[in-house]
Amino acid sequence: MLVKVVRGNRASGMRSFALYAFKDASAAEQVHEGLLREALEALEGRGDYPVRRYYTCTSCGYTFAGIDGPAVCPVCGAPGEKILERL
């Protein structure tokens, strides 16, 4: 259903919320895949998994590691108050 909406809006020259949502979700899932692969490799004994802080944007779901959360989400542009620290 959403794919039809995106295609229809793209054909008419309009940008849709669905298109932005798909792009944000895709970027977030690419990061999640990398984090899970890193954890799996450590679990299987192929390396260490460092303890670090993780942050998630509550607007798009983008998750990243770092010392401090960013002032703005690098994927969707949400302000820092939408980015929460996760354990």
CATH for 79: 2.20.28.10
Q: What domain range includes position 68?
A: 2-86
- Using an 8 Å Cβ cutoff, are 70 and 78 in contact? no
Domains: count for the chain: 1
User: Is pLDDT above 60 for 5?
Assistant: no
Residue located via tokens 């703005």: 72
User: Is pLDDT above 70 for 57?
Assistant: yes
User: Is pLDDT above 80 for 77?
Assistant: yes
Q: Tell me the pTM.
A: 0.59
Q: What per-residue confidence (pLDDT) applies to 11? A: 58
Q: What per-residue confidence (pLDDT) applies to 8? A: 61
Q: What per-residue confidence (pLDDT) applies to 61? A: 86
Q: What per-residue confidence (pLDDT) applies to 6? A: 56
The span from the CA of 46 to the CA of 39, in Å, is 10
